[in-house]
Structure 1
Amino acid sequence: MSDVTGDALSSFLGEQLGADVTVADLEEHVEGWSRDTVSFTARWQGDEGEHEQRFVVRAESDAQVESGRRSEGNDIETEYRTMDAAQDAPVPVPTTRWFEGDRSVMGGKFFVVDHRPGDAPVVWDRDQRAHLQEAWDGDSDLPDQFVDAAVGVHEVAPEDVPALENVPAEAVVDREIDRWVEVYRESTVRPEPAVEECIRWFRANKPEVPETTLVHGDFRIGNMLVDGDDLTAVLDWELARVGDPLYDLGYASLQYFAGKLIEPTERPELACSLLEREYLYDEYERRSGRTVNRERVRYWRAFSAFVMMTIGLSGVHQFRQGDTDDVRSAWFQYIVPGLVEDMLAIVREDRT
């Protein structure tokens, strides 16, 4: 972990707030493990009396600093700038506070945001998956808040996020294919015939993208905080980009994000184990006023399986190359077969 310590945080916040700051109750979070994430409580004396607030610091990991290798996502400053650009959008995003690019302060670049209550659901845990399914079967507002979050993300226009490359709509699909195929080629030990067939399908069936918006890029319930029946935050903007808003819908619809590894999940019709896919599409269309072309969503579902499989292979490759000693990267090999299966299942209509 970067040098995220109470003393370092006290010193940094003292400079930002112009006060003596004490830091306590540091808690390391394993979610979003491509970066180091720590929540803590800060106390200081201000003009209006004593203040106490809980914050979260998100920092480059040691592997990122030592190897100089970026992950497949954006650098940490771009992640912060993207979250900052989404502050006024109707989507729950933690309030952004400070970005620090000087690695000497805490061993890596980092940013600080306000803490939000709740936990990130783990859909591969049977009990947590069942809790999400109950939200759909009962009278919880959580499924509708999920839809609203997607609509809110896509209300941010490309020009409002200057930290991201503003790609023309007609170039979006080729950008995605070229980017992720390159990572796949770098990460795989040998070409997999089934994957090569899907890559050919991606190139032969490129959808027409009529518009671009901010796209979260990793839009799933596991990257959100849930407090009871409330969706309190959308986190992990590392894969954000300008793109087709329907990408996020296709990505969220992967069975992998409903808890599937090799064996099918109990409720394959539920996106993120939380709401029926068709309900997600219909309600998103109604609330956003944007037509949800089912063939385009199908394309992005297949492509998202390829993206997630490639991220898994990249993690294994980094472990094999010695870029990381985190055994979770090695574990990623086990997600690959199920995602290849999903890719083939989605495109099978054009393979028969």
Structure 2
Amino acid sequence: MSDVTEGALATFLSDRLDADVSVDDLHEHVEGWSRDTASFTARWEESGETHERRLVVRAESDAQVEGDATGEGNDVETEFRTMDAAQDAPVPVPETHWFEGDRSVLGGRFFVVDYVPGDAPVTWDRDQRQRLYDAWDERDGESSLPSQFVDCAVGVHTLGPGDVPELDDCPPEDVVERELDRWVGQYRDSVVRPEPAVEECIRWFRANAPEVPETTVVHGDFRIGNMLVDGDDVTALLDWELARIGDPMYDLGYASTYYFAGKLVDPIERPELACSLLDREWFYDEYERRSGRTVDRERVRYWRAFSAFVMMTIGLSGVDRFRSGETDDVRAAWFQYIVPGLVEDMLGVVREDRL
């Protein structure tokens, strides 16, 4: 993100605020790789008073600017518009400020939001995973971390198709076919050779497609690792680039995969916990109680298996880009190691219908 400099940000903000803005303490965040993200402090004078604000810029990656990125997620403007719509929903998101579509400003399209304190828990880290276990074991009332996680899901699903016009609407009866076409197509484009176990799962997905009675905005990547946690509080739900109009049960299924309960750790210490944080059945019961929406366990089971397929496909896309030379980011090559576990998760659901 060589074009994201303190000077360039100061020029941009000075124009937006009609003031002489200074920027310092620019810090690049490397936790995610779908966008370039940095936080910084802006200062300016207004009406004789000095203002100081910590802000975050989220910009297109080099691959997105050059058109080499795959179509896995939404573009940066759609992500901004979705977060902007969520300002009025009962879900914690950073306050949105500006979107800039002129790539000459910072070398790519970008948006600016408030900085929010907190860290995103990493379920693969033993100590962080243990803190999530403790949050479940020591939960107390509606303010506990597991309770806030449920409330975030409920809050996302208060947004309807008309609330984010930038997201393509999809009739409920077409949701499953759209998801299958999108992700199976991406899998076919990325895989070196077909894997018989995955082909069996794809056949199962088509044969067992559930009926979807309603659609809402779904986050698409709903997990504790995309939330900022400050102490015992969820301060923000981030990374909305996979948001779409779909079945709200998708987010529940996605959050329920074994992968986020500590996959890559053998054995999984607490396999009953979604995102290493909350018992799955408690999650579904509390979601029902707080949302007034019935949780169809079979639809959740379907989307749980399909979510593993989606994550596997995203991983294979990264491997394919590294193999073809489209990226030299070694994190893309690393994704090959998540594939076997995700295939195992998919087969675990499929086998339930075969035994």
TM-score, shorter chain, exceeding 0.5: yes
Give structure 2 stretches of 5+ with no counterpart. Answer: none
Match of 1:243 among 240, 243, 246: 246
**Equivalent residue runs for 1:74-93 within 5 Å:** 74-93=74-93
Displaced runs of 4 or more, over 6 A: none
Residue in 2 that maps onto 1:38 = 38
Shift of 1:262: 6.3
**Equivalent residue runs for 1:332-343 within 5 Å:** 332-343=335-346
Shift of 1:321: 1.4
How big is each residue's C-alpha offset from its partner over 1:65-108, in whole Å with a ceiling of 9 and x where there is no partner?
12443441001111101111111000001111000011100000
Residue in 2 that maps onto 1:19 = 19
Residue in 2 that maps onto 1:174 = 177
Match of 1:229 among 227, 232, 238: 232
Q: TM-score, normalised by structure 2?
A: 0.97
**Equivalent residue runs for 1:134-173 within 5 Å:** 134-139=134-139, 141-173=144-176
Q: Which moved more, 1:22-31 or 1:156-165?
A: 22-31
Equivalent pairs counted in the alignment come to 352
CA RMSD of aligned residues (A): 1.0
* Distance in 2, Cα, partners of 1:203 & 1:288: 29
Matched-pair contact (CA < 8 Å) for 2:68–2:326? no
Matched-pair contact (CA < 8 Å) for 1:224–1:233? yes
Matched-pair contact (CA < 8 Å) for 1:2–1:62? no
Shift of 1:263: 2.6
Shift of 1:31: 2.0
Structure 1 residues 131, 21: CA separation in 2 closer, same or farther (over 3 Å shift)? same
How big is each residue's C-alpha offset from its partner over 1:306-351, in whole Å with a ceiling of 9 and x where there is no partner?
0000000001001111111110000000000000000000121212
* Distance in 2, Cα, partners of 1:258 & 1:295: 20
1:311 maps onto 2:310 in alignment: no
Give the letter for the 1:287 counterpart.
R
Give the letter for the 1:248 counterpart.
D
**Equivalent residue runs for 1:186-197 within 5 Å:** 186-197=189-200
Q: Which moved more, 1:102-111 or 1:1-10?
A: 1-10
Secondary structure (helix, strand or coil) at the match of 1:226 reads: strand
Residue in 1 that maps onto 2:126 = 126
Match of 1:293 among 279, 283, 296: 296
Matched-pair contact (CA < 8 Å) for 1:60–1:76? yes
Give structure 1 stretches of 5+ with no counterpart. Answer: none
* Distance in 2, Cα, partners of 1:262 & 1:190: 27
* Distance in 2, Cα, partners of 1:185 & 1:92: 36
